[in-house]
A = this chain, B = another copy of it.
Amino acid sequence: MNTFGRIFRVNIFGESHGTGVGVVLDGVPAGLPLKFSDFESDLGRRRAGAKGTTPRKEADLPKLMNGVFNNHTTGAPLVIQFENTNTRSKDYDKLREMPRPGHADFVATKKFGGFEDYRGGGHFSARITLGLVGAGVIAKKLIAPVGIEAKLIEAGGNKDIEAAIDKAVEEQDSIGGIIECRVINLPVGLGEPYFDSLESSLAHMMFAIPAVKGIEFGSGFQAAKMKGSQHNDNILSMDGKTETNHAGGINGGISNGNDLVFRIAIKPTSSISKEQKTLNVKTGKIDILRVEGRHDLCVALRAPVIVEAATAVVLADFMLLEQNIKRVIQ
């Protein structure tokens, strides 16, 4: 399935080299002001261009197809589409024989019987996250004054991001990174114990972002090494503010009135130009692969805005459920 959410529902679709990608949003409250330029900033942050990102350039202009009228949301399904314009599909024919190590090529063919659109990664391409960023723009507006900021705090094991990128470019090898996301002004009470915990939903959503391999809240893996007397956050005031924030803003699956803080691990891009060994599925023998095509050396550079969008989408859904957001924005 490609749908997420209970009230604010996101449905993404598209392929890297087909006509385009997009998103259907269901359950968006009516009356939210929305115009083309609202998307500029976040789409710009996701766009390639900086050192370490793919040479494939796309304008990524959002078309608001449905659900918007007189510059406001209507309450009907909201559809945003993005055209694909800059595609070079011939690079990908060779990969049919030689699935890339670390990539979805092999599982895609197994799962979809060889019928998948393999050009540019098809539906597996990170380009599909464009729809998520579009959804995030709307979700961020809905949840205000809740604020979200995600940033890359480490790349290739290095806190100096710029130096790490330079080294990757030099070595022509990809690198991963760690993104930290912080949410402020969140109301107390979002989430439930167990299956609808705020952590469950956020983690579910974050692993929908390609290349994410880990998530931790508050002190996270470090908490496993702590004692209760160190980890417990002393409560200081009636609005739930605590002395420390080892819990990352969530107790018992529920937001506790402190900043929500989590980190995610992004693996290095699997498509690298260095030579690699892999199976040739035609010959059944191990062969040498050198991946063509245009790829990010550090996809983590473009991911913070995707993480923010994903977070906003989850929070919009919870806040509608908890009636922190009305069904019509007046």
Contact = CB atoms under 8 A, between A and B. Distances in A.
Interface of A: 1-4, 6-7, 9-15, 18-22, 24, 26-27, 30-31, 63, 65-67, 69-70, 72-77, 79, 81, 99-104, 106-108, 110-113, 115-117, 122-124, 128, 154, 156-157, 168, 171, 173-178, 188-189, 192-197, 199-201, 203-208, 210, 212-238, 240, 242-243, 246-248, 251-257, 265-272, 274, 276-279, 281, 284, 286, 300, 321-323, 326-328, 330
Contacts of A215: 203, 214-216
14 contacts: A6-B7, A31-B112, A101-B234, A102-B251, A104-B251, A108-B254, A112-B328, A124-B252, A203-B206, A223-B265, A231-B268, A231-B270, A234-B278, A238-B281
Contact of A265 (B171, B212, B221, B276): B221
Number of copies of this protein chain within its complex: 4
A84 to B, nearest CB: 10
A101 B69 contact: no
A253 to B, nearest CB: 8
Given A102-B233, A272-B232, A66 B189 contact: no
Contact of A103 (B116, B196, B218, B251): B251
A223 B193 CA distance: 30
Nearest to A247: B102
Which of A11, A195, A205, A330 has the most chain B CB atoms closer than 10 A to its own CB?
A195
Which of A111, A204, A254, A269 has the most chain B CB atoms closer than 10 A to its own CB?
A111
Contacts of A177: 224
Contacts of A194: 2, 12, 128, 208
A279 B79 contact: no
A205 to B, nearest CB: 7
